[in-house]
Structure 1
C-alpha cells in the first residue's frame, strides 16, 4: 500500500516548518520507505504500520498546534513491488516508449 498524506497545523503563523519537523522525523525513523516534498509525504507499507506512523506524526504536530488538518490518499495495488518507486518507474518507461526517436527497450 502506498499512502500520500499531508499534515497542516492550523491556528499558527504562516511558517509551519517548526510544527512539521517532529512529524517528519517520526516518519523517517519509522523504517518504512517514505518521501516528503513541499506538499505531501508518501509512505509505503502495510495498513496497520502506515496508519500507526501517520497517527504518531499527527500527534507530534498536535502537541504544538491548536488544530491539525490531515489529508490522506491511499493506493492499494496488490502485486506492485515497491510502489513508492515502482509507479514512477512504470510512468517513466511509458514516457520513454511514447517519445518519438527514443531507443526501444530491446535495443
Structure 2
C-alpha cells in the first residue's frame, strides 16, 4: 500500500542518532544495550512509475509506530531517497529520539 504525498522533506540529511534518557531537566546520551531486531518488507508495485514521495504502511518495532518514506526520484538529489520515519511524532515528547539502523 502506498500513501502518496507531493511535498518535499526539508531540513538536513538524515544522520545517526543515539537514544537519550531524561535525567531531571537534562538529556544524557545512553548507549543502546540490547537493540531489538525486526524485519519489514514493503513490496512496491510499478515502482518505476512513481514520481512523488510515498509512505509505507505503519509497522511497530520496539513499541513505536514507524513507516518508511521514499522519494523515487530523490529528495533534492538525483537518486532514490529513503528514510525511516516515526509515524506519530506529534504525540511524542519534545526531544524524543531513538537510534535505529536500517
Measured against the shorter chain, the TM-score band is under 0.3
- TM-score when normalising by structure 1: 0.17
- TM-score when normalising by structure 2: 0.17
Of Structure 1 and Structure 2, the greater helix share is in: 1
- Higher radius of gyration, 1 or 2: 1
Higher RCO (CA-CA < 8 Å; seq separation 6+): 1
